[in-house]
Structure 1
Amino acid sequence: MNKMKSEKKYESKHLASISLGIMGAGFVATMPLQGAWWGQLLQGGFEAGLVGGLADWFAVTALFRHPLGLPIPHTALLPKNRKKMTNAIVSVVKDEWLSKESIQDKIQKIRFTDRFISVAEKQITSESLRKGIVSVSEQFVQKIEVEKLVPLVEKELRKALHSFDMKRVIEGLIEQVIRKEYDQKALDYILDRVEEWGRKEETSLRLGRIALEALDNIKLDGILQFALKSFQSFLNEEKLGGILQSLLLSILGSMKEEDNPNRHAILTRVCEELEKAKTNDAMISEVNALKDQFVMDMNMTQALTDMLNHGKEKALRFIHDPAYTDTYVLPFLANMLQKLKQDEERLNKMEHWVHQQITNLIEENHEKIGSLVQENLDKLDNETLINMVENKIGKDIQWIRVNGAVCGFMIGLALTAIEWIF
């Protein structure tokens, strides 16, 4: 395209020179023909055309440089008025073509959120987005330095454990025990274990031995002591143990019945003690102290390091699993995009924010447009700047020369004809 423009400029300049040459040649050629009326007429036309062409050539040349290199006053107007010209260009660009108001008016007509959503909807299923998500996620995980992260995690974990009040744990456990009847299950478990123990033969003998030893240690007065000794003479470990074993198993069996008053009394007592434990500040303080001591003595560093390294490796494997993008990330993004699309209020707020940021950016940097134009113009020397102007308007300027020659020729014919008439 630059080549075509250069050729057109050359053609128009060449045409202007040809027109001037024709006028000069015509003037010289008609000089011997002054005796004929038509020769005088043509000479008058060519003479005026030559004067008009030369005058316009002088005017056009004087606009850019000194004609024939002579420092004639009021020539080379553009180089002499370079500062005024560049200031005018900067002013036009900054204050008219790219004024703050015009830029802001154009910006206000653009719905950036609509364009963003449109582009996002087109790209949400693209392979490039999938690869981008995997790449960004992988880089993010790879940059996690476990060695630096462990002390932070350990510090926060210890802080959280120290600040955690065990009273809530105790209250929660008690509520669960009562609601899910763990107290009854615990009692039944104890009764079953005691019953299992009570049915053993060795248990019967042990109970008999313990009972006889207890009877031997009883000291009574007079006839009561005699009666006790008489009673002991009829019993041995096996008989007395069997009686006590049967009594124990009978009591245990009745305790398993839900309507047994003894069972009910025990469970009621257990529930009362559990409820008291909720407000037992001494016990809660002791539990908290044990918890704090456990946290203080616990070595978390290696366990956290192993856990975080394992989690990092697992995350990297999962990132490369197609399910990561297709099942989790892309549906999540699509759902967010759909919700955003339907939330007109949020879209308007986002649009307002974007426009406000652009407006602030324009307000803060608009002067830089003029500075940038001025800076680029200042980089050009006079010859380069003049060539640029000539390249832009050279064709029209050369046509001024052509028109000057042609119009001068026509006016010359007219003036010569008028001289004859008058």
Structure 2
Amino acid sequence: MRLKPFRLPETPFHRMRLAATLLLLGMALLFVSTLRFEDAHPALPWVKAFAEAALVGGLADWFAVTALFRHPLGLPIPHTAIIPANKDRIGDSLASFLKDNFLTPSVLARRLHGVDIAGAAAAWLAAPGSPPLTGQPATGPQGLGPLIAKLIRLLDTPHIGELVKAGTADRLRAMALSPLVADAVDTTLDRRRHVPVLDAGLDWALAMLDDQQSTIREMVKDRTNWLLRAVNIDTRVSDQLIEGIRSLLTQIAADPEHPLRARLEVSLRGWADSLRNDPEARLPVEAFKRDLIDNPALGQWIGSLWDSARAGLVKRLDAPASAPDSRLVQAFAAIGQRIEADPMLRASLNTQLRRLGVGLVNRYGQGIVGLVSATVRGWDATTVTNKLESAVGRDLQFIRINGTLIGGCIGLALHALVLAVR
């Protein structure tokens, strides 16, 4: 039969438990050895006293530590396997502890008072080389980007899309369009952006004039009597009308300072001023806005914008760590810098975050407490034992080691006292 090679335990708890057990076995071997060779040397009684007391202390602490989690040696000794036997009470006590110390609105408000949550979040966002909202963990904490991307994917429902469309339409209805149009007209005129449009319009008018000559001649002919047509007056009138319009359009196109151009600019500025100050002038613009919002095509366009924006944001947030989206990183870094630079904004955000936390605790605190208690009750005794032993078992093994060594020291002290009394 081939023996397997010995391997040290992998977890710190199991390594510490092995050390405490080996120390206890060492004291037992030492004590047994001194029983046979006690008279071989004057120092051996001291060694025996140390080993005997250490063995007693180590066994007592082994029993106490083991009794917390299971029956020592499998014997159903009363008041052992304390944690498995009382797991429901432990779950209720843990839930009560959370409720009394963390999940009560007044307690949470008191604990959050003076805590700069917004400042900490802003510093995290603005930290150079630490893009927290991407998947890059190179110089900072693991990114939240993939997590936020998953949350956004959960919003991928028709209901959310309808909410976005309805909310956008409501905001558009509440927004006054006339002042925006007036500002756009003034900006266009100030920057001379209307000139290319006007030149293109003049070129189009000249082309349409050449293309529609026959139509103009027919219109003039229909409006003259037979006598004028008999002497070709209608033809001359048509020619003069066409040439006059062509001459005017050509002059306006060739002269950037033509008076009609200036009059057009004056008219546009006057219209912009009316849109700002005259309720009657605003009515057609606002009516056009309402008709546009009520058009189903606009709703479809808004819906497509939402779909595209959501897909693009998910793609950027879910980018691999090796290729984070620099624009997204810069955007969130700018947000962090803005919050850091504005104390009033930071104070306002802290107030809102505290109110949000207290509100969530007030609404869901009891549910969280019940969830903790129900979860612990749902665990079997072995699961509870393993979880708690993994959490505190390493420190308990230190207690065994300390008990063994301190017991040995007490044994030396008692042996010295016995010798002194004799």
TM class by smaller structure: 0.3 to 0.5
TM normalised by structure 1 equals 0.43
TM normalised by structure 2 equals 0.43
Q: Which entry has the higher C-alpha Rg, 1 or 2?
A: 1
